[in-house]
Chains A and B, each alone.
Chain A
Amino acid sequence: MSAETGGMSAEPTTANGVALELRDVVKEYAGGVQALRRVSVDIRSGDRVAVVGPSGSGKTTMLTILGTLERATSGDVRVAGRDVVKASDSDLAGLRAFEIGFVFQGFHLQDSMTALDNVANGMLYTGVPLRERRESAKVALDRVGLGHRITHRPQQLSGGEKQRVAIARAIAKNPTIILADEPTGNLDSKSGQSVLELLHQLASEGATLTLITHDDHIAETFPRRIQMRDGEIVGDDRR
């Protein structure tokens, strides 16, 4: 891989191994509400980071900026080594399509599709043909332990299984970054625990995992914990 194009570096991660980087990032919503106040943070490739804080602390806003779903009002943002501040809508979409896997609290599975097609759909915008997408989806479902439920539809799956399908959708395209927004928020403690273990296991194989939670017990399982309050980082512990 080579040359720089349009402000986007070719390499998904920088030479110094920083996968996600915020520098003096401010996010202000209409009406003057500041959700992030000059936040600076580096997350290295392969890090497993929990962002913890009460609701309204700005952690979800930080995740959506890291995930390029929203743009910062000011400050520098680099994702997978690319400067996303100047990038176009389609450049950011490309970044999300290839480099970032999202896991949401609400699963966001399509009820009309089988588990396999929900996972294959995760790669829809990569331009990979359907047959190959399904092959990758099958492998991903095997990895999350649902190889036997590929033809089931979401309404036939338990909450924990739905979240596993959503995780399979996030990892099927081999993203370098996984961003999870309260992935266990809708699950009972047992399913939540197993989903958390799965995320740890997948991340330990190489991806950068950033997970948002308001639950300190979940945050405890992460090697690095960033604490937020009122739009600012108030703590950053490493084990």
Chain B
Amino acid sequence: MSVAAFRRPFRRPGVPHSRRSDRDVARLPPHELFGVALQGLRTRKLRAALSALGIAIGIGAMVAVVGVSASSQANLLATIDSLGTNLLTVTPGTTFFGANEVLPSTAVPMIRAMHNVQTVSAVYSVPNANVFRTPFVPSEETGGIGVDATDTGLVKAMNGSVASGHFFDAASENEPTVVLGTAAAQDLQITSATGHVQLFVGGTWFTVIGILNSMTLDTSLDDNVFIGLPVAERLFQVQPSPTEIYVRANVNDVSSVSNLLAATADPQNADGVDVSQPSDVLEARAAAKGQFTTLLLGLGAVALLVGAIGIANIMVISVLERRGEIGLRRALGATRRHISSQFLAESALLAVLGGIAGLVFGAIATWIYSIGQNEPWVVPLYALILAPAAGLVIGAVAGLYPAAKAARLSPTEALRAT
């Protein structure tokens, strides 16, 4: 038999000879590498799941922290947006000696006359007036409910709304009618303004005509009941000296209006007037929540580090256990690089799967939290990309040493190992 006949022995099966180049190069295309890595993980499912869990917990914690924080911030910012950032409040300050200043009765008409002011409303304290369901309630059981006089523009100025009934109009502000803040209504156990409910306010029967929803920009108003200013002046001799003035400025002129407000409210004693912007307070609260997030993210990062060490540990053990497989792969034509890529890919895949699982855990945790807090469910877009990407990086770094170790193994030693 001639030598040529032996050269390509089994011509029918196997690698088509057309594929054999002059220089046969061992190769492992990326999709095959992925398949090999996946196979490696599937062979040891429980171990893979447990080591991915470390990464999942770390990333899950971070996603949850970011998500919860983003949800509450979104809630605050949405509230601010809906209420507007153009509300300014004017209150009497305190004197140098600590006594309360008093705003002049001209303050409201003066501010109303300013440029770039949309709406002005004010509340006036009604001292010595208490609210009772009946005259038979002992006079000391006031329930802490205050009585304020106000004008017809309060709800509009506060971007508030009426839960039941209606607010004062030009007619009802002159009559003995009362509108309840939401907390005050709860205390008085009044749920509806219909049905001619009457309250005993400062020794006179008043008819309840409305119940307000919570005033988010100034929740202290929720504890009060409101009567019309003309009635208050007539029945309780209230001085028309406002305890708080609410000013809606044009959105683009908030700061210029703010600068002029004190001098306009009390030209003779501008220093005795405090001006503030309630939305600033809410924004500061949102920012404070963000600070807290940084701390928790740090804790999440520690969890991730522990997870990464866990993966490196498992991969080193895996390399030792799979020496036989490594030797076989070398015998089948794997280069050192193929072997190291395989273990690197397994480690990275493990951590990416952990990252995706963590993303899901974190998103679910955020969702449960947001339902509990009645807030919008927000998982920041960057978390969707960063969670698997962080897994990839962590897995690749954790896999470096085991991969190098696997590639260094001598194939014969590896084959002898089993």
Residues of chain A having any CB pair with chain B under 8 Å: 1-3, 5-6, 8, 10, 12-13, 16-17, 44-46, 60, 64, 67, 69-70, 89-91, 93-100, 102, 104, 106, 108, 110-113, 121-128, 130, 132, 135-136, 139-140, 143, 171-176, 205-208
Say how far A92's CB is from chain B's closest CB, in angstroms. 8
Contact of B418 among A10, A69, A94, A106 (CB under 8 A): A106
Q: How many A-B residue pairs have CB under 8 A?
A: 172
Chain B: residues with Cβ within 8 Å of the partner, total of 49
Task: Let me know if B415 and A104 touch, CB within 8 A.
Answer: yes
Say how far A154's CB is from chain B's closest CB, in angstroms. 12
Contact of A127 among B11, B27, B43, B336 (CB under 8 A): B27
Task: Let me know if B332 and A122 touch, CB within 8 A.
Answer: yes
Q: Mark B386-418, 1 if CB is under 8 A from A, else 0.
A: 000000000000000000000000111001001
In B14-30, the 8 Å CB interface with A consists of: 14-16, 19-20, 22-29
Residue B9 interfacial (CB < 8 Å): yes
Contact A90/B335 with A108-B415, A136-B14 known, Cβ cut-off 8 Å: yes
In B328-385, the 8 Å CB interface with A consists of: 328-338
Residue B156 interfacial (CB < 8 Å): no
Determine the chain A residues whose CB is within 8 A of the CB of B6 once the complex forms: 13, 17, 45-46, 176, 206-208
Determine the chain A residues whose CB is within 8 A of the CB of B415 once the complex forms: 69, 104, 106, 108
Closest to B333 in A: A97
Report 14 cross-chain contacts, Cβ distance below 8 Å, ordered by A residue.
A13-B3, A17-B6, A45-B3, A46-B1, A89-B336, A89-B337, A90-B335, A108-B324, A124-B332, A171-B14, A173-B15, A205-B9, A206-B6, A206-B8
Closest to A112 in B: B43
Distance A126 CA – B336 CA, assembled complex (angstroms): 15
Task: Let me know if A95 and B24 touch, CB within 8 A.
Answer: yes
Say how far B417's CB is from chain A's closest CB, in angstroms. 10
Determine the chain A residues whose CB is within 8 A of the CB of B8 once the complex forms: 174, 176, 206
Determine the chain B residues whose CB is within 8 A of the CB of A108 once the complex forms: 324-325, 327-328, 415, 418
Determine the chain B residues whose CB is within 8 A of the CB of A130 once the complex forms: 32, 35
Say how far A178's CB is from chain B's closest CB, in angstroms. 9
Contact of A10 among B22, B29, B332, B336 (CB under 8 A): B22
Contact of B13 among A64, A111, A136, A206 (CB under 8 A): A136
Determine the chain A residues whose CB is within 8 A of the CB of B9 once the complex forms: 174-176, 205-207
